[in-house]
Amino acid sequence: MTDSTTPRLDSGSHGRWMGLALAEARLALASADVPIGAVVVGPDGSVVGTGRNEREAHQDPTAHAEMVAIRQAARALGSWRLDGCTLVVTLEPCAMCAGAIVLARIPRVVFGAWDEKAGASGSVFDILRERRLNHWVEVYPGVREDECGALLRDFFAGHR
């Protein structure tokens, strides 16, 4: 699904971009939000959007890291179509975020930890690769999975 104008990130790039997403996730801790972070990498390899969970900060149920990063990237690129972009996120996207990824025409998603309760990118659902939809996404799971998972486990252990 890539063309000659869409650079394909290698696994080394995936890890570097995940480092940026993890930094965003840690920033969410300041507002007591679940530490999930995301970055959108543009077709030229530059970061065009960043986001972290802001549901508690803004009392907005749609303020997931992916949604924040996608909105920022669309503004930066001047288009809702994020062709050629890659979304990198610390946790497997949920159904809402997976739907937004499909609608934004993002061709690739890289994520860290699996979400066995609400994941929609291969665990509970697989919206990103649902053939009945009009857009399909390449999915690269498990990038820095242990680090992403530990951040979430530590957060939830402190809330029990």
Consult the annotation and say whether 97 binds a ligand.
yes
Torsion of CA 40, 43, 48, 53, to 10 degrees: -10
Contact 97, 64 (CB under 8 A): yes
Consult the annotation and say whether 159 binds a ligand.
no
User: How far, CA to CA in Å, does 11 sit from each of 14, 60, 100?
Assistant: 5, 33, 24
Picking from 92, 104, 94, 93, the residue whose alpha carbon sits closest to that of residue 48 is 104
- Which one is catalytic: 24, 54, 66, 92? 66
Residues contacting residue 121 through CB under 8 Å, at least 6 positions apart: 92, 93, 98, 109, 111, 127, 128, 137, 139, 141
Which two structure tokens, joined as six digits, stand for 119? 């994941």
What span, in angstroms and rounded, lies between the C-alpha atoms of 10 and 111?
A: 14
Which two structure tokens, joined as six digits, stand for 110? 């890289």
Consult the annotation and say whether 85 binds a ligand.
no
- Known catalytic membership, residue 66: yes
Residue numbering of the annotated binding site: 64, 94, 97
- Residues serving a catalytic function are 66
Residue numbering of the annotated binding site for Zn(2+): 64, 94, 97
